[in-house]
Amino acid sequence: DSGPDPSDFDLASIYVSDAQYNRNIYFDTSPEAVRLYLRYNHWLAKVLLYFFILVDLSLALFEEPAVLPLPIWATMLVELLCLLVFTIRLAHYAKVIPRDKFWKDPKNICIILTLVDMIIYGALKATNCYGVRWSRVLRPLLLVNVTEGRQLRRAFRSIRNALPQIFYVFLLFMFSLLMFSLMALKLLGKRGLKTIDGAPYFTNYLEIVFDLYVLVTTANSPDVMMPAYNSSFVFAIFFILYILINTYIFMSVFLAVVYNNYKKYLKEEVRQLVRAKRHKMARAFAVLQEHREEGGQPVVSQANWNQMVRLVQPDISNAHRELLWSVADDKNQGKVAFVQLVDLLNIEVITLKSRPHPLQSACPALYLSAPSRLLCRLVQHRAFVIVYDLIILVNAVFIGLDEENPMVSNSEWVFLALYLLEILLKLYVFEPKAFFSRHSFWNWFDTIIVVSALIATIINSAMKSTGGYTSRQILDIVFILRVLRLIRVVDSIKRFRAIINTLIRIGPAILTFGQLIIVVYYIFAMVGMELFKGKVKFFEEDSTDPDKAFCGNTDLKGTAFAQLNYCKNNFNNVVSSFILLVELTVVNQCSGFVAVTHVSARIFFILFHIMVVIIIINIFVAFVLEAFFVEYSVDKSDLQTSLERKIEELELAVEQYVTMTTGHSTPDTITNSFN
Amino acid sequence: DSGPDPSDFDLASIYVSDAQYNRNIYFDTSPEAVRLYLRYNHWLAKVLLYFFILVDLSLALFEEPAVLPLPIWATMLVELLCLLVFTIRLAHYAKVIPRDKFWKDPKNICIILTLVDMIIYGALKATNCYGVRWSRVLRPLLLVNVTEGRQLRRAFRSIRNALPQIFYVFLLFMFSLLMFSLMALKLLGKRGLKTIDGAPYFTNYLEIVFDLYVLVTTANSPDVMMPAYNSSFVFAIFFILYILINTYIFMSVFLAVVYNNYKKYLKEEVRQLVRAKRHKMARAFAVLQEHREEGGQPVVSQANWNQMVRLVQPDISNAHRELLWSVADDKNQGKVAFVQLVDLLNIEVITLKSRPHPLQSACPALYLSAPSRLLCRLVQHRAFVIVYDLIILVNAVFIGLDEENPMVSNSEWVFLALYLLEILLKLYVFEPKAFFSRHSFWNWFDTIIVVSALIATIINSAMKSTGGYTSRQILDIVFILRVLRLIRVVDSIKRFRAIINTLIRIGPAILTFGQLIIVVYYIFAMVGMELFKGKVKFFEEDSTDPDKAFCGNTDLKGTAFAQLNYCKNNFNNVVSSFILLVELTVVNQCSGFVAVTHVSARIFFILFHIMVVIIIINIFVAFVLEAFFVEYSVDKSDLQTSLERKIEELELAVEQYVTMTTGHSTPDTITNSFN
């Protein structure tokens, strides 16, 4: 804020030591290096990097097989530009990191491999040869490996660490699968049974293994057992035993292994972060040149504390700062343990100041008059909430009715007016800053939804009245906003609020998880497109092409895949690939897909199932489970507000504190406490 | 053992106080009451009771709709006999319990309701009216309510306790479902889309709610989204969001709630059992009339301890008893705390005595000769295990080959001989009692499988050589035994052994779980048979009936249900009902089934899904998870054998001890410690 300042520089050198500690290497802390480091971490540089990663990833939309085809030279040029940006960033990075470390970094390898691939592919295309852009699977790895993707890297690392244990359970699962298949072959192979297509049933060992693997995903239940069951109900027992052991028990064991490992490595990571923080605190203390008590912990005086807080968290209020000091210095000695201070700054304090309403300051006579105070009491009354809940219910019924009825479409204006009135009344009664505080999720939600619905409805009726034309897109948005408005009703029921709050709290982690799954989906989509593009074709509803009946592939003639009109489930472009992969995650409806290309599709399907369903979905489930277990254990000790509890925690040892808040304070907030 | 003995009587009176404590009621402890109580708990009485429960439950096989139809008077007579047995047992029970408690017992109500139903049904049938045997759903409740079904009752109780929390999550889930359905109606209802059958797509709100509910079970994915997705890929986002929230997040929340509650109530039960045990111990102490140290715990002298152990656990060896005493009396004071003694007796001590081999005692010269010792060393060598693992692998290949090839079918004799040789060699080397000890699961497994396979193979070849006729059933058994033999190979790999042992350990709990699911299935099967019997008919493979194409129901003409030959999935008898319910548990493939009868089938389907998939399967998963978490946490503290650890635990407070062994020591072993 105040130009180059020696203390600014000192804080910056802590940044550098930060990076040093994380990588266990030592490099120079000269002003030049510090300047480079600060520039490297500038927000603009980071935004640019993310933008180019996004551009690089979305190139898949324009490359063959494309949603919007662009010539090869255009996509290649954009990709080169992206690579250039990454290289500049790397060159920047290389200046502060030793050579040998630099060349081992996976980012470099990705970039070099991509360049090699582009050259080979360009040369092949120029000579009209068949070429494969295999380096496209490396693109999402860049997303994982940029320094900013810490959470994502951590998730990948914990998967890698869990792999050995998963592998042993998987081997045992495969052993069980092979044994059951052998038994099925011996019991059913010689009975001359036929499948529904008239093919011999359970006569080929490898076919049986695959069928029973698919049965684990429950996708071909009960089809796979019907021929045997039709011949005798005794065989149903074989399949029931199989499902019990392989679907229920083994899949639960996979969940247990993944959950257990994820928790174990998360704990280990947090332990390392605590160690790193201590190291940094020691360095920061050396920079502040505070005195150290004899044989005791490093301490800091109140004057220095005030100066430091003003520097690192300028938005903190004086009162808040003094509250924190008084909490830390409870024995009133004028000095506190240095390591505690950062924890204190990390605590999110919700300032619940009873500030007077701006209208009260502007016009006290009116705001404090009897009718105004009656209004305030009414709005704060429980009945006000109940009335609005009833309005929401009536609104829900009206939304369900046919909107072409003029009464129904006009009622929309009434409801909009009522909702607006509610927000205005609340703004009249509550202090606006408190109403729109960072923690009032539902107030923000309400206001945004109602205002957007108002704008969209106005645009829609304006278009209707001017041109007599209704835009389907705007109407869709209006409908979505109307339905979303109804969600607010759950906030009125206390029990629901607890569940919803837990779900909102795990939101950020679900985003990390979303990145993880996008990386995996992207890799599978690239491979899938390369292997299966054009094998299944989609024809529009009004197409009269005779190939429409079998999705443009004669192998699919008469199959369930074509009959059920699944033709759009294909790998013909990156969007439909992603949607197909989601479908495969939910139910491995690969039957039709397998009919197209045999062995490669089966291997693809099994690998995808192992990677996504067995590993990633289980991590997700483990994650939701853990969040709710934490929620329920907090629920039980029904004491204290969030602030009180955190202050109480602070009085415990630091190690305990970190373990207790693992769920909430992400390690990033710890490391960025000086940011 | 030694006739009526005063101490025997005293122990019996502890039994009575037992029942008193459990029910919190007091009744007389006269010798007459004690005799009644002992007779009530006699093993023969219990076996008879279980036999009649089984007969009562299996009546469903013979009643309309029957697997083997019997006349109504026959099944009714058998049922009356069962009821008579239950009533005698109840009358017995009534003598030791106060009247008012007795009449509130659910068993009485079940019996009375069944009688009423039988009379009404008999009367209706006699006058040729339509009657429903509604009391059949009460039969499995008898299984739950007989005193011996403690584990099962506990499971039901914990489900009942978890219901309120599950209910709130379910309400929120339903709210989300209704909101998504409303949005689907508004977004897709007016687009004029058609389903694959040509019906209008997403125009009826209740149909949408049902379709989206089924989507949660993933049964109709991706069919339900295809019309929307075919019109625009944007709608796929709606369905993906829906699946993320309702299938992945809400189903995980259900698992979290069930898991959390199950654990909480299990802990509560164990706490109550500890309290009950202390109470009983105090009473037992009073019976033993031991002296109590001033202000200290009740103590017992070694002489009394020896006498008591001989009485209550006659099978315990002197050495074992003295070891236990020395563990408990580590300060060598000649007396130990009384409450510790029962815990000590409950510890399973695996006596690893190095007894000499019987052959060594019988003929030491031969057994200790050089060739014999060489043989022993060979058999104990690691290579012996490896050689037999290789033999098993070769055997697996031979089993996979066509058994009509004479070389392959003769090789079976070679393998049988090799396996028998292995068992004989091991019996030669290892002491037979140690080899067949209660804890050598694999030795038992091996011997039983190999001997059975030998017997079955001999019978099979005998039949073949005499009549040239091969019984399919015996051949099936031979095949199953051959494949089962291969399972032994997993025991050679240490990592697999750990997983397998955990699975074996949860075996008994899976049995309790099996009873639980049979109760629920039985009730649903009875209701389902009443509602849907005869709606779908199964025709044998060689039938030429024209109705075969649509399972005898014209509503099913042209449906996927009939095309896929699902006709045997019906409620026409209790066996096919059970198998259908298992299929519904795995994937709710209810599509065809719903086509038959609309509203009732849908309600049936949703109730079944809530009860079985949301509650019971989640309990099962929670159970497997917990077993593996315990296993992994034990794995980590890599110290001590089971005995050492338990002895160490004993030195902790009793409360801690019980919490630590919750997983293994079932409460029954605690209460039966005087048995």
Digit-coded pLDDT (tens) for B568-582: 888 888 898 898 888
* Whether residue B417 has pLDDT greater than 90: yes
**How far is the C-alpha of B222 from the C-alpha of B238, rounded, in Å?**
13
In this complex, the residue of B196, B219, B489 whose CB is nearest that of residue A564 is: B196
Cβ neighbours of residue B185 closer than 8 Å, sequence gap 6 or more: A400, B202, B203, B205, B208
Residue A301 host element (H or E): strand A299-301
Nearest to A668 by CA among A16, A268, A151: A151
Q: Which is higher by pLDDT, B157 or A209? A: A209
Residues of B in contact with A175 (CB under 8 A): 489-490, 496
Residues of A in contact with B474 (CB under 8 A): none
* Whether residue B657 has pLDDT greater than 60: no
Q: Does A240 touch chain B (CB under 8 A)?
A: yes
**How far is the C-alpha of B182 from the C-alpha of B226, rounded, in Å?**
19
Give me the pLDDT at residue A330, please: 60
Give me the pLDDT at residue A493, please: 81
Residues of B in contact with A566 (CB under 8 A): 222, 226
Task: Pull the structure tokens for residue B407.
Answer: 């070389």
Task: Please give the C-alpha separations between residue B611 and each of B550, B594, B606, B670, in angstroms, as whole numbers.
Answer: 31, 19, 9, 32
The CB density around residue B386, as the number of other CB atoms within 10 Å, is 11
Give me the pLDDT at residue A180, please: 94
Task: Pull the structure tokens for residue A392.
Answer: 């929401």
pLDDT band of residue B242 (cuts 50, 70, 90) is: very high
Nearest to B355 by CA among B414, B443, B256, B434: B434
* Whether residue B455 has pLDDT greater than 80: yes
pLDDT band of residue B1 (cuts 50, 70, 90) is: very low
Quick check: helix, strand or coil at residue A615?
helix
The CB density around residue A205, as the number of other CB atoms within 10 Å, is 15
The CB density around residue A281, as the number of other CB atoms within 10 Å, is 20
CA distance B641 to chain A (A): 23
Binary contact (B624, A260; C-beta < 8 A): no
- The 10s digit of each residue's pLDDT in A2-14 is 333 333 333 333 3
Q: Are A320 and A356 in contact (CB under 8 A)?
A: no
CA distance B542 to chain A (A): 11
- The 10s digit of each residue's pLDDT in B298-329 is 666 777 777 777 777 777 777 777 777 766 66
* Whether residue B497 has pLDDT greater than 90: no
Q: Which is higher by pLDDT, A78 or A471? A: A78
**How far is the C-alpha of B435 from the C-alpha of A269, rounded, in Å?**
46
Binary contact (B256, A499; C-beta < 8 A): no
CA distance B583 to chain A (A): 6
Residue B443: φ, ψ to 5°: -65, -45
Task: Pull the structure tokens for residue A396.
Answer: 């829900």
Give the distance between the most distant pair of CA atoms in chain A. Answer: 96
**How far is the C-alpha of B396 from the C-alpha of B485, rounded, in Å?**
9
- Let me know if B457 is exposed, middle or buried by CB neighbors in 10 A (0-12, 13-18, 19+): buried
Poorest-confidence range of A507-511, B266-270, B283-287?
B283-287
DSSP state of B216: H
Task: Pull the structure tokens for residue A143.
Answer: 């997303």
pLDDT band of residue A275 (cuts 50, 70, 90) is: confident
**How far is the C-alpha of B495 from the C-alpha of B509, rounded, in Å?**
23
Q: Which of A180, A206, A217, A229 to mutate to test the interface with B (most CBs of B within 10 A)?
A: A229
Cβ neighbours of residue B497 closer than 8 Å, sequence gap 6 or more: B490, B491
Q: Which is higher by pLDDT, B477 or B1? A: B477
pLDDT band of residue A41 (cuts 50, 70, 90) is: confident
pLDDT band of residue A273 (cuts 50, 70, 90) is: confident
* Whether residue A512 has pLDDT greater than 90: no
Q: Which of B224, B587, B630, B631 to mutate to test the interface with A (most CBs of A within 10 A)?
A: B587
Quick check: helix, strand or coil at residue B335?
strand
Q: Which is higher by pLDDT, B627 or A664? A: B627
Q: Does B482 touch chain A (CB under 8 A)?
A: yes
Average of pLDDT values for A447-464?
88
Give me the pLDDT at residue B336, please: 62
Cα dihedral across residues A501, A503, A506, A508: positive or negative: negative
Binary contact (B628, A260; C-beta < 8 A): yes
Binary contact (A185, B499; C-beta < 8 A): no
Residues of B in contact with A587 (CB under 8 A): 218-219, 221-222
Q: Which is higher by pLDDT, A21 or A597? A: A597
**How far is the C-alpha of B669 from the C-alpha of B25, rounded, in Å?**
23
Binary contact (A396, B182; C-beta < 8 A): yes
Average of pLDDT values for A430-437?
82
Cβ neighbours of residue A434 closer than 8 Å, sequence gap 6 or more: A352, A353, A355, A440
Q: Does A233 touch chain B (CB under 8 A)?
A: yes
Average of pLDDT values for B399-423?
86
Average of pLDDT values for B344-348?
59
Binary contact (B260, A223; C-beta < 8 A): no
CA distance B379 to chain A (A): 26
B335-337 and B299-301 strand pairing: antiparallel
* Whether residue B127 has pLDDT greater than 80: yes
Instruction: Determine the residue of chain A that is closest to B263 in CA distance.
Output: A629
- The 10s digit of each residue's pLDDT in A341-385 is 666 665 555 544 556 788 888 888 888 888 888 888 888 888 998
Nearest to B342 by CA among B288, B396, B268, B415: B288
Give me the pLDDT at residue A353, please: 52
pLDDT band of residue B344 (cuts 50, 70, 90) is: low
Q: Does A186 touch chain B (CB under 8 A)?
A: yes
Average of pLDDT values for A289-298?
56
- The 10s digit of each residue's pLDDT in B512-554 is 888 889 899 999 999 988 888 888 888 877 778 888 777 777 7
Give me the pLDDT at residue B112, please: 84
Residue A270: φ, ψ to 5°: -65, -40
Residue A299: φ, ψ to 5°: -125, 165
**How far is the C-alpha of B144 from the C-alpha of B675, rounded, in Å?**
23
Poorest-confidence range of A159-163, A294-298, B76-80?
A294-298
Residues of B in contact with A565 (CB under 8 A): 196, 226, 230
- Return mean pLDDT, chain A: 76
Residues of B in contact with A579 (CB under 8 A): 229, 233, 236, 240
- Let me know if A43 is exposed, middle or buried by CB neighbors in 10 A (0-12, 13-18, 19+): exposed
**How far is the C-alpha of B519 from the C-alpha of B517, rounded, in Å?**
5
CA angle, corner A137, sides to A135 and A140, nearest 5?
115
**How far is the C-alpha of B479 from the C-alpha of B399, rounded, in Å?**
8
In this complex, the residue of A182, A226, A589 whose CB is nearest that of residue B399 is: A182
Q: Are A528 and A581 in contact (CB under 8 A)?
A: yes
pLDDT band of residue B669 (cuts 50, 70, 90) is: very low
pLDDT band of residue A660 (cuts 50, 70, 90) is: very low
Q: Which is higher by pLDDT, B84 or B464? A: B84
Instruction: Determine the residue of chain A that is closest to B503 in CA distance.
Output: A249
The CB density around residue A73, as the number of other CB atoms within 10 Å, is 10
Cβ neighbours of residue B621 closer than 8 Å, sequence gap 6 or more: A248, A252, A255, B255, B259
Determine the angle formed by the axes of helices B318-328 and B642-650, rounding to 10 degrees.
40
- Return mean pLDDT, chain B: 76
One-letter amino acid for residue B30 of the chain: S
Q: For residue A140, list its beta bridge partners.
A: none
In chain B, residues 552-591 whose CB comes closer than 8 Å to chain A: 563-566, 568-569, 575-576, 579, 582-583, 586-587, 589
Binary contact (A218, B617; C-beta < 8 A): no
pLDDT above 70 covers a percentage of chain B that reads 77
Average of pLDDT values for A537-562?
78
Give me the pLDDT at residue A174, please: 93
Nearest to B134 by CA among B611, B526, B518: B526
Q: Does A549 touch chain B (CB under 8 A)?
A: no
Give me the pLDDT at residue B176, please: 93
Task: Pull the structure tokens for residue A592.
Answer: 């039709």
- What predicted TM-score, i.e. pTM, was given to this entire model? 0.80
Give me the pLDDT at residue A337, please: 61
Give me the pLDDT at residue A171, please: 92
Q: Which of A173, A182, A239, A517 to mutate to test the interface with B (most CBs of B within 10 A)?
A: A182
* Whether residue A125 has pLDDT greater than 50: yes
Binary contact (B589, A257; C-beta < 8 A): no
Task: Pull the structure tokens for residue A353.
Answer: 């100041």
Query: Which string of b and e fits A346-369 if b means at least 16 CB within 10 Å?
Result: ebebeeeeeeebebeeeeeeebee
**How far is the C-alpha of A448 from the C-alpha of A451, rounded, in Å?**
5
Task: Pull the structure tokens for residue B223.
Answer: 């069919």
Poorest-confidence range of A48-52, B179-183, B385-389, B644-648?
B644-648
Q: Does B487 touch chain A (CB under 8 A)?
A: yes
The CB density around residue A488, as the number of other CB atoms within 10 Å, is 18
Q: Which is higher by pLDDT, B93 or B119? A: B119
Residue with tokens 């026959």: B74
DSSP B259-310: HHHHHHHHHHHHHHHHHHHHHHHHHHHHHHT--B-TTS-BEEEHHHHHHHHH
Give me the pLDDT at residue B673, please: 27
The CB density around residue A639, as the number of other CB atoms within 10 Å, is 9
Give the distance between the most distant pair of CA atoms in chain B. Answer: 96
Residue with tokens 């909101």: B179
Q: Which is higher by pLDDT, B8 or A517? A: A517
Q: Does A632 touch chain B (CB under 8 A)?
A: yes
Q: Are A302 and A334 in contact (CB under 8 A)?
A: yes
Q: Which is higher by pLDDT, B182 or B643? A: B182
pLDDT band of residue B174 (cuts 50, 70, 90) is: very high
**How far is the C-alpha of B455 from the C-alpha of B420, rounded, in Å?**
12
Task: Pull the structure tokens for residue B631.
Answer: 């296993």
Cβ neighbours of residue B368 closer than 8 Å, sequence gap 6 or more: B360
Instruction: Determine the residue of chain A that is closest to B622 in CA distance.
Output: A252
Q: Does B657 touch chain A (CB under 8 A)?
A: no
User: CB-side exposure of A598: number of CA atoms within 13 Å?
Assistant: 3
**How far is the C-alpha of A427 from the C-alpha of A442, rounded, in Å?**
14
Give me the pLDDT at residue A673, please: 27
Quick check: helix, strand or coil at residue B597?
coil
Q: How many CB pairs under 8 A join A and B?
A: 201
Binary contact (A172, B230; C-beta < 8 A): no
Q: Which is higher by pLDDT, A180 or B32? A: A180
Map B242-258 to HEC letters. HHHHHHHHHHHHHHHHH
Binary contact (B621, A171; C-beta < 8 A): no
Quick check: helix, strand or coil at residue A194?
strand
Poorest-confidence range of A178-192, B348-362, B503-517?
B348-362
Nearest to B212 by CA among B186, B244, B246, B235: B246
DSSP state of A609: I
Give me the pLDDT at residue B2, please: 36
Poorest-confidence range of A99-113, A443-457, B201-215, B604-618?
A99-113
Cβ neighbours of residue B475 closer than 8 Å, sequence gap 6 or more: B460
